[in-house]
Amino acid sequence: MITLENKREGNVREEQTENICRKPDVPYEELRYVHFPKPTSYSRRECSCTPVRFFVIVSMQRSGSGWVETLLNSHPNISSNGEIFNRVDRRENVSSILQTLDKLYDLDWFSSAAKNECTAAFGLKWMLNQGILENHDDIVRYLNKKGVSVLFLFRRNTLRRLISVLANDYDREAKQLNGTHKSHVHSKEEAEILAKFKPELDTSTLITNIRNIEKTIKDCLDHFKSTRHMILYYEDIVHNSNALSQALEFLRVPMRRLMSRQVKIHTRTLPDLVKNWEEVSMKLNGTEYAHFLDGSDYVK
C-alpha cells in the first residue's frame, strides 16, 4: 500500500518550481519529491536534468533488507548506499544525523552502489536500532521537508527473524567460514555451513520478545505515517518475484528485472532450524503466534 502525505509543509521549494529541468508531466502534488541535485564533487553532465527521487529503506536486522537492497541496486538507476548510520559518530545526536543526510542527498556520497550522473533514485538503508526512533520527530520533519520517500521492510514471521538473529550472533563469534563472519553469503556451500547451527530459543522470554518487536514496528509506522511511504514484507517478496515492481513504481523508475547474488541461509522447515523445537512449539501453540509454527507464510 502506498500512502502519499496530504498535508503540505510550506510551499514547494522555489528551485523545484522554477528549475528549467522540471518535467511538465510530473504531477503537481509530487513536485516536492523531485530533485535536481548539484553535487560539488562531480558534475552530473548530460544527466543533470534527470530528476532524482530521494528514499530511505527502514527495516530491522535479519529482515531481508540486505537482499532487497542488492535487488534494488541491480537497477541501473537506483543507488542505495547501505547502513550509513551503523557508524556511531554519524548518529550521536540529531545534528550529526541531519548533517549526514544532507551530504547523502546532495549526492556527494560515494559507495559501491553509487551510479552518480544518471541516478534517478538515491537513498540508504536505516535500521530501527540506529537512532531513527529516538529522534523520530526531527527525522520526520526532515524527510517531509526534503521530500524523501520511505520504504518500510519488515518480516511477518517474527519467529523466523529471531532464529536468524541468534544464528547470525553465533557466527559473529564462531566465524564458521574460514575464520570470517558473514551476515550474507553468495554460494549454497557457504549457506549450508552456516545453516548447520541450530540456535536454542529462550522460551521463558519468547512471547515477550515477539510482542516487543511487533510493538517497535507498530510504533515506527505510527511515527512515520505522515511521510510518503510504502510497506513491504519479506515473505511477500519471497512468494512473488515481481513483488518489488511496486517498489520500482513507488520510486518512479523504469521497470527492470532485478537480480541478487545473495543466497538464502535458512531454507529448511522450522523444526530443522531450532535445537529445542518441541519446547518452542509447546510455548506458542494456543497463542496468537501459533501461526508462526506452520511455515505457511514462507516458501522455499
CB 256 within 8 A of CB 75: yes
Predicted pLDDT of residue 116: 58
Predicted pLDDT of residue 186: 95
pTM for the whole structure: 0.88
Q: Give domain limits for the chain.
A: 2-157+213-267
Q: What pLDDT, in 10s, does the model give residues 225-261?
A: 999 999 999 999 998 878 899 999 999 999 999 999 9
Predicted pLDDT of residue 5: 42
Whether the pLDDT of residue 300 is over 60: the answer is: no
The answer for residues whose C-beta is within 8 angstroms of residue 31's C-beta and 6 or more apart is 12, 16, 17, 22
Whether the pLDDT of residue 210 is over 80: the answer is: yes
Predicted pLDDT of residue 16: 44
Q: How far apart are CA 101 and CA 78, in angstroms?
A: 17
Mean pLDDT, residues 256-275 taken together: 94
Whether the pLDDT of residue 8 is over 50: the answer is: no
CB 146 within 8 A of CB 104: no
- 239: its cell numbers: 512468494
Q: CATH class for domain 2-157+213-267?
A: alpha beta
Q: What pLDDT, in 10s, does the model give residues 30-83?
A: 889 999 888 888 778 777 888 899 999 999 999 999 999 999 999 999 999 999
- 133: its cell numbers: 526512533
